[in-house]
Chain A
């Protein structure tokens, strides 16, 4: 028994400081992304989430040039981009992809510039790799503390606005009619999304952060039709993918082909996709989508048949 556990958890896994920081920060990122991501998917804003992830590259690259932890850049630029998208009209169903696309294009252009400067001044691609693919094993305690603050803010927004956001996702008109300030709640939801993306960008990388935002939520809603349970399952799935990913990355030091370890970002995203595919396979007909009766059934005898 002990040897089996040792084979799974390589020696030093639980005592290593980088691993503990990775489990802590990665866990927070997964929880927040899983929970906020459910609303991203429900509100049909996956593309906006994707764009926020792309744009956070700009913030990460800028922080690298400024010599501060990339988390500040990820979050700062993400929240600014969320505000810009709201101003241009990301909350309107019509034309919002355009608003998102414009902001995303501008952000990626700047990101290319900053990463270029970073590469030419240091003569390495360290910034590019860190920003794009994350740095879960090099997170300091101070950075983890900032991450915790961001996590609390994002979760607080979603917890407080849970019901108005849910109602707004079904129909903004219904929410308006109940006196909910739809624009303001939607804007706060975008801020929560930007913070979630910034946390995931720190751990598994800016361009992969959408996987943690959308993947667990998409998997969870395959398993249940209850909104509350979807949020909880999504968080658990994201957490499982991240922690197992960290464990595998730690173990993978002895794996072929290079015997230098596998990148944790790849492992986490691979697990997210694996869970999603498993859910598709295990639950071919999600609860609440197939009913005992056939809604399209025609009357027993159509008038024309009865007359014939």
Chain B
């Protein structure tokens, strides 16, 4: 690489650019022409239900899945095989409670887990691990075995694991699944703070848009392998989402939250600006009775 300071260049351009990515798996199109960008310090939600293509998209960004067409650029460079400034946080740790791996060990593996050989204890390594555990509010359970930690605690430790390698982009795969409401809010505000303080681009996948609404800069909304992206106000609109789903949906605003509700389900799929017809018909229960 010729660039002397890639981080500096990224400050002006996009940290992540997904450019027309399509993925075909076993004859089925799992992703169709997905395109969006994330800048440094931006917090982006990747919203969609099961099977919408969120995980496949994250795998493409991570370099674990080759796109059929299109490409992913990270800080301007095409995605290579090796991880380049990308931190990843999976949903949970797969260790039983009695396994001898402490929170601080997992964070330490964030520094040098990919290296060969046995690590030598070092003061600076330990200081860095302690600092990271502090930054994510995990100092209290630094010496606990990771398998004994709750879902929210595991998330904090894995975020520290990802952050310690100083990524420019942080990817989180459904971090809020299986969390109670309080842990959910704590993790979201922690991520928002990290994103702003460290200028890291955060892409977080979730089923539910509402927990992310207060902190989200941009949203990538996915349905059936297609994606719509922009600010929340731009994307979470009945017309946009109806086009995305290929099925009528309503967007209801309620005390600063949004509800995305499907249409009745028996009307034919409709195109853009065609929803007036449905809106007239839907509230009338008699019409539904007549059509039987």
Residues in A lying within 8 Å of B, measured CB to CB: 41-42, 44, 93, 159-164, 166-167, 169-180, 220-222, 224-230, 286-289, 291, 293, 295
Contact = CB atoms under 8 A, between A and B. Distances in A.
Given A177-B83, A221-B98, A227 B105 contact: yes
B245 interface: no
Contacts of A180: 113-114
B107 to A, nearest CB: 11
A230 B102 CA distance: 12
B289 interface: no
Nearest to B91: A173
Interface in B239-271: none
Contacts of A222: 98
B109 A163 contact: yes
Contacts of B90: 171, 173-174, 177
A288 B144 contact: yes
A273 B106 CA distance: 30
Contacts of A226: 100, 102, 105
A224 B100 contact: yes
B213 interface: no
B145 A170 contact: no
Given A177-B88, A291-B141, A169 B112 contact: no
Interface residues of B, number: 44
Contacts of B161: 174
A295 B101 contact: no
Contact of A169 (B99, B115, B158): B99
Nearest to A292: B140
A229 B100 CA distance: 9
Interface string B107-147: 00100111111110000000000000000000011011110
B64 interface: yes
Contacts of B278: none
Contacts, number: 124
Interface string B140-180: 11011110101001000010010001000000010000000
A227 B101 contact: yes
A162 B117 CA distance: 6
Top-5 shortest CB links A-B: A177-B88, A167-B113, A173-B90, A288-B145, A221-B100
A225 B98 CA distance: 8
B158 A174 contact: yes
Given A167-B109, A177-B88, A226-B102, A289 B144 contact: yes
Given A42-B100, A225-B145, A171 B94 contact: yes
Interface of B: 62, 64, 81-83, 86-88, 90, 92-102, 105-106, 109, 112-119, 140-141, 143-146, 148, 150, 153, 158, 161, 165, 173
Given A166-B113, A167-B109, A170-B93, A221 B99 contact: yes
A180 B64 CA distance: 11
Given A178-B83, A288-B148, A163 B100 contact: no
Contacts of A170: 93-95, 101, 106, 109, 146
Contacts of A164: 113-114, 116
A23 B166 CA distance: 49
B116 A163 contact: yes
A286 B101 CA distance: 12
A225 B143 CA distance: 8
Contacts of B141: 291
B148 A174 contact: no
B88 A166 contact: no
A169 B145 CA distance: 13
Contacts of A167: 106, 109, 113-114
B58 to A, nearest CB: 10
Nearest to B64: A176
A54 to B, nearest CB: 24
B115 A225 contact: no
A42 B112 CA distance: 19
A179 B83 contact: yes
A137 B45 CA distance: 66
A159 B109 contact: no
A180 to B, nearest CB: 5
A92 to B, nearest CB: 12
A170 B161 CA distance: 12
B82 A160 contact: no
A179 B81 contact: yes
Given A160-B117, A288-B102, A288-B143, 16 more contacts: A42-B95, A42-B99, A44-B94, A162-B118, A162-B119, A170-B109, A171-B92, A177-B64, A179-B82, A221-B98, A221-B100, A225-B145, A227-B102, A229-B100, A230-B100, A288-B145
A49 to B, nearest CB: 16
